[in-house]
Amino acid sequence: MHIAVINGPNLNLLGVREPERYGTATLAEIEARVRERAAPLGAEIAWFQSNHEGALVEAIQALRGATDGALINAAAFTHTSVALRDAVLAVDVPFVEVHLSNIWAREEERHKSLLADLAIGVVAGFGPDSYVLGLEAMVGWLRRAERPEPGALEV
Ligand code: DQA
């Protein structure tokens, strides 16, 4: 099972960026935690971060046919980017939206996500654990999709 993790702008500065809000773990440390959790779940992780909207669009476009699922923390682009929304719509890959912080407990401009209604679900507010919880949720969802419960496909 392949899971891609897509990280948006300024997440490369985790560890030094507003540590009182985002904690002191670096993005590399979060990546290590996700990979550590992925191994026993049988998931292979592809990790990507960019500060550039176009690069994120291309990374999402490349998911088509290349991954089973994704975790997406689009950071500030979550709240602004129709281009990322269109990319996610175009590739039709199941994903979980993740955020370190609880975006609904913050400024109003962060309450809206242009991706959330396209996601299987959203994990926000648990710091680096949001990624681990999102991974567990994504893998669980994919496993259920592979082996639907009896009757689950009946309408
Ligand atoms: C964030 C929340 C966004 O509002 C913010 O712009 C970020 C990080 C989070 O993980 O909490 O850069 O996505």
pLDDT tens column, 92-149: 999 999 999 999 999 999 999 999 999 999 999 999 999 999 999 999 999 998 766 6
pTM for the whole thing? Answer: 0.94
Q: Does a structural domain hold residue 154?
A: no
35 lines ligand 1 (CB under 6 A): no
Is the pLDDT confidence value at 90 over 60?
yes
Which residue owns the Cα nearest ligand 1 atom 7? 75
Indicate which CATH number applies to the domain containing 78: 3.40.50.9100
Per-residue pLDDT, 148? 61
Whether 18 is in a domain gets the answer yes
Q: Which atom of ligand 1 is nearest to the CA of 110?
A: 4
**CA of 7 relative to ligand 1 center, distance in Å:** 10
Core vs surface per residue 14-39: b (16+ CB within 10 A) or e: beeeeeeebbebbbeebbebbeebbe
Does some domain include residue 151?
no
Q: What is the pLDDT of residues 12-64, one digit of tens each?
A: 999 999 999 999 999 999 999 999 999 999 999 999 999 999 999 999 999 99
